[in-house]
Amino acid sequence: MIFRLLGPLAVSGAAGTAGIAGGPKIRALLTRLLLDAGGSVPVERLVDGLYGDEPPADAQGALQTQVSRLRRALPPGTAVEFSPAGYRLALADPAAAVDVLRFEALVREGARAGAAGDPGHAAGLLREALGLWRGPALADVRDAPFAAGQAARLDALRLDAVEAWAAAELAADGDPALLVRELEPWAREQPLRERLRGLQMRALGAAGRQADALAVYEEVRAALAEELGADPSPELAAVHLRLLRGGEAAPERPCPPLSAPLTDFVGRAGERERLAALVSAARLVTLVGPGGAGKTRLALEVGAGLRGEVRFVDLGAVAGTPVPPDAAPGPYGGAGSAAGAGPSGEVAEAFAAALGVRGAARLQAALEGRPVLLIVDNCEHVVAETAVLVRRLLAACPGLRVLTTSREALGITGESLLPLGALSPEAAEELFVRRAAAVRPGFAGHARVAELCAGLDGLPLAVELAAARLRTLSVEELADGLGERFELLSRGDRTAPARHRTLRAVVEWSWSLLEPDERRLAARLSVFRGGATAEAVARVCGADTGALASLVEKSLVEVREDGRYRMLETIRAYAAERLPADDPAPAAHRAHYRELAEAADPELRGPDQLEWLARLDAEDANLRAALRHSAPEDGLRLVAALSPYWWLRGLRGRVAAPVAELLDRVEPTAERGEEYALCVLAAGLREGAHVERARGFLTTGTAPLRQPYTAFLWSTSVGPVEGLRLGDDPWSRSLALVGRAHLTPGPAEAEALLTEALAGFRALGERWGTATALEGLAAHARDPLPLLAEALSLFEELGVAEDVVDLLLRRAAVHEAAGDTESATWDRHRAARTAHGAGLRLPSL
């Protein structure tokens, strides 16, 4: 039995194909469960998927009704199961029973077969995948809120599969006439999709219809100019040029074997597929990333899987002579009048040697009319010379493709970049275990391998160097020794280039290529932990954008998706060694983050609370670094400003140790008594000399408290204190009303106080206080569920795990008292999951 979603919803079995009885909601519910077949779909996700932004008043009850109807409509032997994790469609083999999952699996297998150099097998797999389609995906449930995005994703994947199938058929010398017929309707539907139209041109050329192929190019060129004001891509222009020169492709020459690897390839399957696709589509691709990321190995893996001639050019040993500045191409490929002056002789000679040519003067002649891929390795120290030569050769030799590896891009028009960074945590652990087993037979893993690999930034070279040390060290010793990583990982492959034998040598090679101002900025950037915004870099380091951009281009600094600049920890540790003792950056770093914390403090009690919490989240590592290195006076100010943030985010355990160390350096005074008390609380102290001294400061002070959270935090952590003078700000007044309500025996009076407090918090737009007041009011309400639901939503927005757990358990008790055991079970499961994720102990049920 197969559930079919790639077209109208239907079920196919021994008796044929039939539709699903029931209304639109039942079909939509079944479709949503099928898309996640094999796993449970949470109730909230199903409600959102079925009802969108306008769920019914009793959304869970409505969903349960639809589930009951679906159970009656399903074929015999198919069940919908409920658990605390949600609803699940019970299928023995989901990948075989749902056509969408089968389609996605076949597409992945086809991509792997193509990357492995087996286009015939790839074409067969992709043809089978496309044969599963009977019409538009999710055809009869597209009005469901969840369906539009899923359908668009599947439609895009189908189009990608059509292109991959066509490319595989061409590579496998399939029937070009058949391919032309198959591609024609797709080309009509997607007239401006350049890869598709390029494949159509290639198929026409292979079928002997060169004039029709050239006409397709002119059609696309004119349409692009009219509708987008753009020219055809370099890839489409290259197909056009090959057709003009008389054929779809020149005959291939035998491919000499590249050097065989001594170890298996681990953890870069996705990057390998993307790089293989880029190399097939573009004439110049640069694999760019920091030293030790595995660029060379990945390039060789892809080169070994390609058909045709592949040659390897190693520029690592080339010293190179500088090219005049006006000869080197700029970021957009512009080269001055000296562009023909010629690159370094050593670079050209390295190219010639790789191609078996005697002398660089014969290089261009040797490549004309020759379809070859050059893998040019280690370009970063001769990047300008290499760029001049590569551009000249690509312009003169249409059959040439170039794949370079470098720590910065060549900067040529038409260059496609694939950044290569850290391995995924899973891949890094797998790499460590495999390499470790080679030096310590029987090694199968250790509890601290994940920590060790994360500390090494997931860089393959660093992970392999660490694994090699298991000959003499334990995993615990390696993990504990990361603070001295350069000494720890000082032994590597004796046969490797000098710059790859040790971790220090890897970073030193990149450092040696920097200009003095770049080195100064890189050293100053080492004061940041967890990255920094461009504004913070400018404030702390006094850097202009040019030097920062240059460090990014040279793979010493990475730019994350959120726009933050970050150094890998290994590079940061090396740069920190080179920061002069009298450099102003550390002091500027502490001042900047203390000012940020003090600016954030009042905003955490207003309508922009979430935005400021997110900003502090991003800077958490920097804030803790500033705390560790602050002078006592500044440290007290920083703790006072950050105490509300730590409370709301449940981070006090993380900062207890550095705050306790600060306490040992502080000479407490009455002037800073409140900050000292907050420091005692953040250190996790509940009794002792520090607590009594802080209590004395709080009770003998005559001025109102400066930090509105002080009274609340002290009373909830240590106990109520008589005589505290609260501030007269609106937030403090509302919080005082909540406190009075809890001390008032009369329910009517308590409800009135809480209602007033709720109005005050709502006026401020502050979520924590609003949720706290709602929680209190729920205890007096005839129907507490709406109040608890709103409070829970606010606490979840804030990420206050303790309050979320408490409210879920409280709501579960309300559900159970009303006889709704399914909802009670679901809330208890969510409470357990939330507590586990936050490292909390679940209260007794």
Report the pLDDT value the prediction gives residue 16, as an integer from 0 to 100. 60
Question: Does the pLDDT at position 653 exceed 80?
Answer: no
Phi–psi pair at 566, nearest 5 degrees: -145, 140
Contact status, residue 79 vs residue 37, Cβ threshold 8 Å: no
CA distances from 18 to 15, 78, 100, 768 (A): 9, 15, 17, 53
Q: Which residues contact 749 (CB under 8 A, 6 or more apart)?
A: 741
CA distances from 89 to 79, 498, 592 (A): 6, 57, 53
Residue entry with tokens 């070859």: 372
Label residue 411 left, alpha or beta by phi (over 0 means left) and psi (-120 to 50 means alpha): left
Report the pLDDT value the prediction gives residue 259, as an integer from 0 to 100. 63
**CA torsion 457→462→466→468, rounded to 10°?**
150
CA distances from 655 to 43, 151, 467, 612, 798 (A): 36, 46, 32, 19, 19
| Strand order, beta sheet including 16-19 | 2-4, 10-13, 16-19
Let me know if 355 is exposed, middle or buried by CB neighbors in 10 A (0-12, 13-18, 19+): middle
Q: How far apart are CA 450 and CA 458, in angstroms?
A: 10
Spatial CA neighbour of 458 closest among 490, 481, 424: 424
CA distances from 25 to 73, 80, 91, 98, 495 (A): 12, 15, 21, 19, 66
pLDDT (tens digit per residue) in 348-379: 888 888 877 766 777 887 787 778 899 998 88
Q: Stretch 147-176: mean pLDDT, rounded?
A: 87
Q: Which two three-digit tokens encode residue 424?
A: 């995924």
Q: Which two three-digit tokens encode residue 730?
A: 């609106």
SS3 content of the chain, % helix, strand, coil (to 5): 60, 5, 35
Report the pLDDT value the prediction gives residue 788, as an integer from 0 to 100. 94
Let me know if 480 is exposed, middle or buried by CB neighbors in 10 A (0-12, 13-18, 19+): middle
Report the pLDDT value the prediction gives residue 153, as an integer from 0 to 100. 84
Q: Which two three-digit tokens encode residue 205?
A: 């050329």
Q: Stretch 508-536: mean pLDDT, rounded?
A: 88
Q: Which two three-digit tokens encode residue 823?
A: 């909802």
- What b/e sequence results for 589-603 when a residue is b if at least 16 CB atoms lie within 10 Å of its CB, and e otherwise? bbbbbbebbeebbee
pLDDT (tens digit per residue) in 708-764: 888 888 888 887 777 677 778 899 899 889 888 888 778 899 999 999 999 999 999
Report the pLDDT value the prediction gives residue 35, as an integer from 0 to 100. 86
Contact status, residue 570 vs residue 489, Cβ threshold 8 Å: no
Number of Cβ atoms within 10 Å of the Cβ of 279:
25
Q: Stretch 380-398: mean pLDDT, rounded?
A: 89
Number of Cβ atoms within 10 Å of the Cβ of 819:
8
Q: How far is CA 56 from the centre of its chain?
A: 35
Q: Which two three-digit tokens encode residue 822?
A: 């399914």
Question: Which band of pLDDT confidence, cut at 50, 70 and 90, is reported for residue 324?
Answer: very low
Report the pLDDT value the prediction gives residue 67, as an integer from 0 to 100. 86
Contact status, residue 151 vs residue 137, Cβ threshold 8 Å: yes
Question: Does the pLDDT at position 315 exceed 70?
Answer: yes
| Of 254 and 729, more confident | 729
Q: How far apart are CA 710 and CA 658, in angstroms?
A: 20
CA distances from 10 to 47, 180, 773, 777 (A): 23, 32, 51, 50
Residue entry with tokens 């970050």: 566
Q: Which two three-digit tokens encode residue 144?
A: 């469901």
pLDDT (tens digit per residue) in 418-431: 988 888 888 888 88
Question: What percentage of the chain has pLDDT greater than the value 70?
Answer: 91
Contact status, residue 701 vs residue 671, Cβ threshold 8 Å: no
Contact status, residue 200 vs residue 214, Cβ threshold 8 Å: no
**Structure pTM?**
0.60
pLDDT (tens digit per residue) in 23-39: 788 888 888 888 888 77
Report the pLDDT value the prediction gives residue 696, as an integer from 0 to 100. 84
Report the pLDDT value the prediction gives residue 500, as an integer from 0 to 100. 54
Q: Which two three-digit tokens encode residue 633?
A: 């006076």
Report the pLDDT value the prediction gives residue 252, as an integer from 0 to 100. 32
Q: At what angle do helices 194-206 and 210-227 cross, to 10 degrees?
A: 160
CA distances from 165 to 115, 205, 838 (A): 13, 17, 46
Q: How far apart are CA 487 and CA 500, in angstroms?
A: 15
Question: Which band of pLDDT confidence, cut at 50, 70 and 90, is reported for residue 328?
Answer: very low
Q: How far apart are CA 609 and CA 107, in angstroms?
A: 45
Q: How far apart are CA 56 and CA 826, in angstroms?
A: 19
Q: How far apart are CA 639 and CA 631, in angstroms?
A: 12
Contact status, residue 300 vs residue 330, Cβ threshold 8 Å: no
